[in-house]
Amino acid sequence: MEFVNVEDVELKKPIIVAAMQDMGNVASIAVDFINKNLRTHLFRYVSAPYPDYVVDNGGHIDYQQQRWEYRYGKDMIIFGGDTGQPQTNDELYKLCQDVIDIAKKYSTQLIYTLGAFHTDREIDNQPKTLFTTTSPELSQQIRKLGIEITPGSSLITGFNGLILGFAKLNGIQGIGLYAEINEPGIPQYRSAKSVLQTLERFTYQKFGELGDLDAMAEAVDNEINKMRKSDR
């Protein structure tokens, strides 16, 4: 992996939002939405090794190196988005450690990560966002806001879980926000909206017109309905 600084920036104790593509693309939709609407600026990026696969677009292929960006806005650093996650555990660990190194460089005290929570509950276009944190004390504070914790005991795999572990090991508070989804293979714009609404409450920031995500969700629904009708 290659870590490249584009410019040196001056930031004072920013929060970090760090999340990568996951089920339903919830995290990447949310991160890309924040970057677009806050007009964040690139200051560092990570290039992964070329993947061991190609993407067939139905008659022609794409083959390109993945790149994940660090961008900054007002009192925030946004990392991740784009497509894919590291292909090996070694790459994943290096990427998590790099986020921690950036957090320490700018004296960050809180890291948020975002993602999806696969549930059998019929969410009926109204997904809830659940949370987990790096400490019981922090979880108790957040529960007072009326937000539900993730139920039971489970594994949170990939970057959107492991970054919380790295934060905890390094004495940085971390909060994971995970929106319910029913269909992991379909882009979940309403779940991304739910995550962003919760993140807005925590950060006291507005990330743009979240209704745009409802329109995108409806467009996906219409395409699915067309496909189902054509199969009959």
User: Domain containing 42 — which CATH number?
Assistant: 3.40.50.10900
DSSP strand pairing (55-56 vs 2-5): unpaired
Q: Are 29 and 211 in contact (CB under 8 A)?
A: no
Where on the phi/psi map is residue 13: left (φ > 0), alpha (ψ -120 to 50), or beta? left
Residues 132, 137, 138, 141, CA torsion sign: positive
Mean pLDDT, rounded, for 41-65: 87
At residue 223, the pLDDT reads 87
Sheet with 41-47, edge to edge strand ranges: 2-5, 41-47, 67-73, 76-81, 15-20, 110-118, 173-181, 129-133
Residue 232 in any domain: the answer is: no
Q: Please compute the mean of the pLDDT values over residues 89-109 and round it to a whole number.
A: 96
Number of domain units in the chain = 1
Q: How far apart are CA 55 and CA 48, in angstroms?
A: 16
Q: What tens digit of pLDDT does each residue of 60-73 get?
A: 998 888 899 999 99
Strands 41-47 vs 67-73: parallel, antiparallel or unpaired: antiparallel
Q: Is the pLDDT of residue 82 over 80?
A: no
Residue 28 within any structural domain of the chain: yes
For 19, phi then psi, to 5°, come to -155, 145
- Per-residue pLDDT, 155: 82
- Quote the CA–CA distance of 29 and 158 in Å, as a whole number: 17
Domain assignment present for 230: no
List C-alpha distances in Å: 187 to 91, 203, 232. Answer: 25, 25, 24
pLDDT of 77 over the 90 cut: yes
Tens of pLDDT, residue by residue over 105-121, are 999 999 999 999 999 99
Asked if residue 179 is part of any domain, the answer here is yes
Residue-averaged pLDDT of the chain = 93
* Percent above pLDDT 70 for the chain: 99
Q: Indicate whether 231 belongs to any domain.
A: no
More confident residue, 66 or 79: 79
Structure tokens, 129: 């966002």
Q: Output the pLDDT for position 195.
A: 97
pLDDT (mean) for 207-220: 94
Q: For residue 85, what are the domain limits?
A: 2-54+62-225
Q: Residue 157 domain-assigned?
A: yes
- Which residues lie closer than 8 Å to 128 by C-beta, 6 or more apart? 148, 179, 180, 194
pLDDT tens string 161-184: 999 999 999 999 999 999 999 999
In a domain, 147, yes or no: yes
Quote the DSSP letter at residue 57: -
- Between 57 and 28, the more confident residue is 28
